[in-house]
Amino acid sequence: MGSVGLPSLAHATTIKPAPVKPNYSGLEGLTPGLSPWRDSTQGSFGNITQSPRPDWHYGDGATEGAVDPSITPHVEIDPFAEGRPMFSNYALMVSAIVPRPIGLVSTLSVDGKPNLAPFSYFQVVDHNPPMFVVGFAGRAGASKDTLTNLEATGECTINLVSEHMIEAANACSIDAPFGVSEWDICGLKQADSAVVRPARVQESVFSIEGKLVKIVDYDRESVGSPSRLGIIEGVRFWVREDAIDEQRKNVDLNVLRPVGQLGGISYSRTTETFKLPRTNWATASETKGLKELLGQR
């Protein structure tokens, strides 16, 4: 894959026609008679349980409920099969790779115009240094404003989306014409950043100030503008005071209440968690079960 460095900020970005965004609501209609939203802000966050099989031992494999592949086989899908629309791959992937965190990315154009857009092709990939990726899927027309701004200025903020701001974040996904601010459309408030110029989202419980490391080109054919990947280093964190512990290392889910994106127009929230400890080889290799399993080989 190829990569490009940061361009000089002295060069203004050429204004191109905004890309035409599909109406993704067509993937899935609203189900009639949905139950009203249940407020979960009162009391403790969710219910913490054991893992599905607390008595699981090394070598036990999948837990009860796993499907016998001889009864229910898998179906092979070639993403590049002749006649298979790109949108089918999109629908397949976003409905299977779930839940995905939502990064609400704030950027500025070279002339200072703010932009705010949500991305579920977003993830943390390292902690030392703090590194994040944002995927910019190719589409017909010009590049997304977020990518144009990020490539031109090298700065952004990434704001995590919680239950209390999901409608506003969703509104930012609209393909507003050039010059129309998503901040005005969604009603979220701008907060000053410390070391980058783009504003943080004040309502976000956890925000990251980021500086672009590089833009990676996939070097693969795509329809319309090419698909690209932004690699971003986190240079400042902002956490709501009531959400962080005294050691400044753990965020309270009772306050964060994260929202995950699923397929179509569906989202998820976490209302129950379970505990499943991890160990290392030195400890595990001394257990009776693993010793017996290794002795059988």
Residue 10: what pLDDT? 41
Place of tokens 């419980």: 205
Counting residues of the chain whose pLDDT is more than 90, the rounded percentage is 53
26-50 tens-digit pLDDT: 555 556 677 787 776 554 566 788 8
> Which of 177-186, 217-226, 230-239 is modeled with the greatest confidence?
230-239
CA distances from 215 to 1, 8, 128, 136, 218 (A): 10, 14, 20, 10, 10
58-104 tens-digit pLDDT: 888 876 665 666 677 889 999 999 999 988 999 999 999 999 999 99
Output the average pLDDT for the chain. Answer: 84
> Which of 33-47, 167-181, 193-207, 283-297 is modeled with the greatest confidence?
193-207
Q: Which of 56, 63, 55, 59 is nearest to 295 (CA)?
A: 59
Average pLDDT over residues 250-277: 90
**pTM for the full predicted model:** 0.84
Residue 74: what pLDDT? 82
HSE toward the beta carbon, residue 150, CA cutoff 13 A: 31
- Higher confidence at residue 5 or residue 110? 110
Distance CA 205, CA 220 (A): 37
Those residues with Cβ within 8 angstroms of residue 212's Cβ, 6 or more apart along the chain or in another chain:
6, 150, 151, 154, 155, 156, 230, 231, 232, 233
Q: 68-72, 176-180, 269-273 — which is least confidently predicted?
A: 68-72
Residue 13: what pLDDT? 39
Residue 12: what pLDDT? 41
CA distances from 283 to 148, 278, 287, 290 (A): 50, 10, 7, 10
pLDDT > 90? residue 230? yes
Q: Across-strand partners of 106?
A: 116, 157
Those residues with Cβ within 8 angstroms of residue 25's Cβ, 6 or more apart along the chain or in another chain:
265
pLDDT > 90? residue 137? no
pLDDT > 60? residue 259? yes
Residue 107: what pLDDT? 97
pLDDT > 80? residue 4? no
